[in-house]
Amino acid sequence: MRRYSISHHRSYEMRMLIH
């Protein structure tokens, strides 16, 4: 769960940056 959360968080940040 923790690993998934971290991975998901990174993806979210990258998406925000691109947006």
User: Which pTM does this prediction carry?
Assistant: 0.08
The whole-number average pLDDT for the span 3-8 is 65
Report residue 15 CA to chain centroid gap.
8
CA 5-8-11 angle, to 5 degrees, is: 150
Which of 5 and 16 is assigned the larger pLDDT? 16
pLDDT band for 10, please (50, 70, 90 cuts). Answer: confident
Report residue 3 CA to chain centroid gap.
11
Residues 6+ apart with CB under 8 A from 17: none
Which tokens in the block code for residue 5? Answer: 């959360």
How many angstroms separate the CA atoms of 4 and 17, rounded?
20
What is the overall mean pLDDT for the chain? 69
Q: What is residue 13's predicted lDDT score, i.e. its pLDDT?
A: 74
Query: Does residue 1 surpass a pLDDT of 60?
Result: no
